[in-house]
Chain A
Amino acid sequence: MMSAYRAAAVAALAALLAAGPALAEEPIKIGLVLPFSGGPYVPLANEIADSLAMAIADAGGEVDGRKIEVLRADSTHKPDVAQAMAKKLVFEDKVDMLVGPVGSNELTALFNFANQSKTPLLIPNAGDNEATGERCSPWVLRTSFSNDQIVREMGPWMVKHGYKTAALIAFDYAAGHQQMDGFKRGFVKAGGTIVSEQYPPFGPISDFGPYLAKIKEAKPAAVFTFFAGPPATALVKQFSEFGLKDQIKLAGAGWLISPLNLPGEGDAAAGVLGILNYVPTIDTPQNKAFQAEFQAKYHRTASEFAAQGYDTGKLIVAALAAVKGKTADKAALVKALHSVTVQGTRGTLRIDSKTNNIIQDIYIYEGKKEGGKVDLVVLDKIPAVQDPPNGCKL
């Protein structure tokens, strides 16, 4: 009697032990280090984080029985805080991978930490060429873009469409110069001439009056620019107010006429050209579903930042599925990120194992006034734009 009872107890215990690990399985943890407060990128951080969470929820929120948990850490727009938050996420919360930052100012801090601690880091926005070029790391992958990748195809396109002379203007900082150099190389090679280059000091100064006077004097066929956020709105409006719009074609890296900026720019955005990795009007089932879901939830058009956040989430889920939810082997996780191809909001997406930068379609589009407001109409698509290694040896 006693032994039968004991046998039953042992059997029950054994069953419990066997089932135990499955029941109490740790969730997969993804740590976001983004500037949720402080600095100009707060809205961008929220767009990225909300959309990334949306992508994971859309995929069922789990992989092979392991729940996917997203932890948010606020970098407050400061590199040292970003690094401290990354350390906390990795060492205390034991996250399996990191996602961040928004701006290049925090990139080096996160990059170095990920590289040293061998933690996979996915960059959901910052575009510094060197992060997936000369300085590339096996642990740092980019799901957004490199500065050069965005603008490279615009020079030849503009020459082909009859714009043979151009004036350049961008803020005087790394991203500004990388974007202008990327445009210039292709433009000059295709037979275009740069007639003026201006690099105002980086900052919130958004009185472009003096610079526009100089552009007008140079009489180019087109202006190519890189501005984002409020300075972009200011430039588009002032370009029109100073009467340049009737004589000169305004073009720029597409943030110039981002959906976040269009309401402020009004009619001045009509006729402005943009080149970017995303436009809300991309005509694919994946993008339409994404826009519908985002608009139902947040009552506004999802921006390119939201699209990057969503696609980052999609790539993560695909890679986690490829390793069947086993995240202990971080090198295998990175390998899985290289191996998967997803149909994202932006089109077909894949991370290049040679540079760790994403391979994606690039869109050329124009502001067109339709029914009282300006919409972005796609003019051209350059498929599968891939960065050359640029000194990266992976």
Chain B
Amino acid sequence: MDSGFLVLQLLNGLQFAMLLFLLAVGLSVVFGMMNFINLAHGTLYMVGAFVGFTAAARLGSFWAALVAGPAAAAALGAIFYALLLRRMQAAGAMKQVLVTFGLIFVGIDAVRLIWGDYAQTLPAPAPLSGSVHILGQVYPAYRLFIIALGLALALVLYLGLERTRLGAVVRAGVDDRATAAALGLNVERAFFAVFCLGCALAGLAGVVAAPVLEIYPGMDMTVLIPTLIVVVVGGPGRLAGAFVGALLIGMAETFGAVLIPDFASFTIYAVMALVLLFRPRGLLPARHAP
């Protein structure tokens, strides 16, 4: 294995990990806070990508996609929440899984109806469409942008969670929801805010991934499983857990694909099994994790 290969693969792994982090962080915190699992999280990733695609086509700018995609995903998330998910909170895990699983299929067919059953592409914006020299390698500039964006958002989210009032309510809610509510904190409202933010991040991931992957109805299914694995491996409920989980799974997938190609489809499952064997609650679980 030469050093060039290692550098390229580490960058590729980091880039995939940042996408996974954007997807997993909302899911993880919501799961930790409310013990609520939203399988339709991937649908918001897909909707973000498609709305972003349309916005970029209409307004002629990738940056329009970067705003419109997350906004649409957050709005759709708010509708999901108001119509369905709020009532499902007390319904138990099985019903939540079934309802949100059903939403996945509704989402795919709705996207097919609106955008057609084609794969679409969203080109990277002009300033980022070239390549740069980094650590002796040629690397696509856009992929470095994904890495930078992911790291920057991780930092912003960390500060938001640690330094703001909303962050404090969220942390209290994750640790002990009943007590936090009894102390007069509006956990419900914090939950709604976090839920919408998580949806926006999923939509953002959809737009950001589009120039590297492609946009098509059903693209949500390919990221749902790795995202759930990230949540499980990292330990639900914590930002740091989602971050570490995403790094681990991103690297495992990227290196597994070429180093052990015959087992590439199983690499991330093997990693999950190993983690669960030694840390059944994930690598960095919240204190009161479910």
Verify if B114 is at the interface (C-beta below 8 Å from A).
Answer: no
Known: A201-B265, A242-B139. Is A213-B9 also a contact (CB below 8 A)? yes
Known: A201-B264, A213-B9. Is A206-B258 also a contact (CB below 8 A)? no
Verify if B16 is at the interface (C-beta below 8 Å from A).
Answer: yes
- CB within 8 Å of B: which of A219-265? 229-231, 233-234, 238, 240-243, 264
Verify if B255 is at the interface (C-beta below 8 Å from A).
Answer: yes
Verify if A200 is at the interface (C-beta below 8 Å from B).
Answer: yes
Known: A42-B118, A230-B119, A242-B140. Is A207-B8 also a contact (CB below 8 A)? no
Known: A201-B265, A230-B119. Is A238-B12 also a contact (CB below 8 A)? no
Known: A204-B219, A207-B16, A233-B121. Is A198-B261 also a contact (CB below 8 A)? yes
B8/A205 in contact, CB under 8 A: no
- CB within 8 Å of A: which of B192-219? 212-214, 216, 218-219
Tell me the bound Cα distance from A214 to B131 in angstroms. 18
A241/B140 in contact, CB under 8 A: yes
Verify if A329 is at the interface (C-beta below 8 Å from B).
Answer: no
* Chain B 99-131 per-residue mask, 1 if CB under 8 angstroms from chain A, else 0: 000000000000000000111010100000011
A204/B119 in contact, CB under 8 A: yes
Contact among B1, B119, B216, B258 with A210 in the assembled complex (CB-CB below 8 Å)? B258
Identify which of B9, B130, B255 gathers the most chain A CB atoms within 10 Å of its CB.
B9
Tell me the bound Cα distance from A347 to B67 in angstroms. 51
A242/B8 in contact, CB under 8 A: yes
- Residues of chain B contacted by A199 (CB below 8 angstroms): 261
Known: A204-B119, A206-B213, A230-B121. Is A216-B5 also a contact (CB below 8 A)? yes
Verify if B177 is at the interface (C-beta below 8 Å from A).
Answer: no
Q: Which one of A33-41, A99-107, A139-147, A365-373 is at the B interface?
A: A33-41
User: Smallest distance from the beta carbon of B8 to chain A beta carbons, Å?
Assistant: 4
Verify if A211 is at the interface (C-beta below 8 Å from B).
Answer: yes
A217/B139 in contact, CB under 8 A: no
Verify if A21 is at the interface (C-beta below 8 Å from B).
Answer: no
Verify if A203 is at the interface (C-beta below 8 Å from B).
Answer: yes
Tell me the bound Cα distance from A264 to B143 in angstroms. 18
Interface of B with A (CB < 8 Å)?
1-2, 4-5, 8-9, 12, 15-16, 117-119, 121, 123, 130-131, 137-140, 142-143, 212-214, 216, 218-219, 222, 254-255, 257-258, 261, 264-265
Interface of A with B (CB < 8 Å)?
37-40, 42-43, 198-201, 203-207, 209-214, 216-217, 229-231, 233-234, 238, 240-243, 264
Other A-B contacts than A200-B257, A217-B5, A233-B121, 10 sampled, CB-CB below 8 A, are A42-B117, A201-B264, A204-B218, A209-B8, A212-B8, A213-B5, A217-B2, A241-B140, A241-B142, A243-B137
24 contacts between A and B (CB under 8 A): A37-B117, A39-B117, A40-B118, A40-B119, A42-B118, A204-B214, A204-B216, A204-B218, A205-B213, A207-B16, A207-B212, A207-B213, A209-B12, A209-B212, A210-B257, A213-B5, A213-B9, A213-B12, A213-B258, A230-B121, A241-B130, A241-B142, A242-B139, A243-B139
